[in-house]
Amino acid sequence: MALGAIAPLYAAPLNALDNETPIHAPISQQAVSQIPAGFRFIEPGYLTVATSASHSPPLALLASDNQTRIGSDPDIARLLAESLGLKLKLVPAAWEDWPLGLTAGRYDVAMFNIAVTEERKKKFDFATYRADNHAFSVRVNSPLRAIHRPDQVAGLRIIVSSGTNQERILLSWDRQNRAQGLPPVTPIYLTDDASATLYLLSGRADALFGPHSVAAWKAASRGQIKIVGNGPVRAWVAVTTRKGNGLAPALQTALNSTIAAGQYQQVLARWGEQEEAITQSEVNPPGVVY
């Protein structure tokens, strides 16, 4: 599948309350057979999955009971667990914690809209489940009309999360601009998505640079935000596990079984991520290089 530019995902507003009923998947005996002999899951009988603790629809958020984690990442995690004949245990965590958490053995896999990069492949194994871009979003009444290249971010205050690929792109563009004598970017580092939205809507930031799916959800559900551009690359998003533990092929087969049976497509459709769908999962595909 070629990774190129993508258009806005949503034709009509979506409501997370409509998506609280779980989508289930049958056991894939082929996937189960690929679990390495003697593999020890963090908690026997469970697939322990670290996922975002923040309110970041459509990727992750709390259901109406204010306790249950829902979103496209928890939905895909459930399909994975059930395909492997396991129960699902979600562990809400901060983005900054997932690399150490995996390395320290606090969970079996991490699902944080993690993009495959060549640098990350040195420490982790991946099984892809989406193809995502990065989006620049602004207030609907913003004078900014387009952000597609480095000079268009010069002098702007841009919200971005630390340690992300979006941050790398933004800082790289800023270095190019500074070398040409253009005004510097002012990165605004916020880890909470709700705070980021408030910053943007209140005018304390000019733009927000984050996952395209999150930006598109906001644009469709709020009507207060619009997307004005995408990042320069589109990346594979993947279920992430410790390097060399042997679990990635089983994860890949589990994902492919749900693609073949249609549950995968159901998840993406109800969260408005159809245009990020893949036709089959891959283990450790070529990653983005920054």
Domains of the chain (ranges; CATH) run: 16-132+236-276 (3.40.190.10), 134-230 (3.40.190.10)
Residue 121 predicted with pLDDT over 70: yes
Average pLDDT, the chain: 92
Q: What is the pLDDT of residue 290?
A: 65
- Average of pLDDT values for 232-242? 93
CB of 158 closer than 8 Å to CB of 185 = yes
Residue 17 predicted with pLDDT over 60: yes
Residue 13 predicted with pLDDT over 70: no
Residue 16 predicted with pLDDT over 90: no
Produce one character per residue of 176-197: b if its CB has 16 or more CB atoms within 10 Å, e if not. ebeeeebeebebbebeebeebb
Question: Between 278 and 54, whose confidence is greater?
Answer: 278
Q: What is the pLDDT of residue 281?
A: 98
Tokens in use for 158?
Answer: 């841009």
pLDDT 10s digits, 246-285: 999 999 999 999 999 999 999 999 998 888 999 999 999 9
- Average of pLDDT values for 7-13? 43
Rounded Cα distance between 76 and 78, Å, is: 5
Q: What is the pLDDT of residue 9?
A: 41
pLDDT 10s digits, 174-188: 999 999 999 999 999
Angle at 159 between CA 156 and CA 163, to 5 degrees: 120
> Would you place residue 11 in the very low, low, confident or very high pLDDT band (cuts 50, 70, 90)?
very low
CB of 191 closer than 8 Å to CB of 94 = yes
- Average of pLDDT values for 36-53? 96
Residue 6 predicted with pLDDT over 50: no
Question: Between 272 and 30, whose confidence is greater?
Answer: 30
pLDDT 10s digits, 190-228: 978 888 999 999 999 999 999 988 888 888 887 899 999
Q: What is the pLDDT of residue 5?
A: 38
For strands 134-139 and 225-230, give the pairing: antiparallel
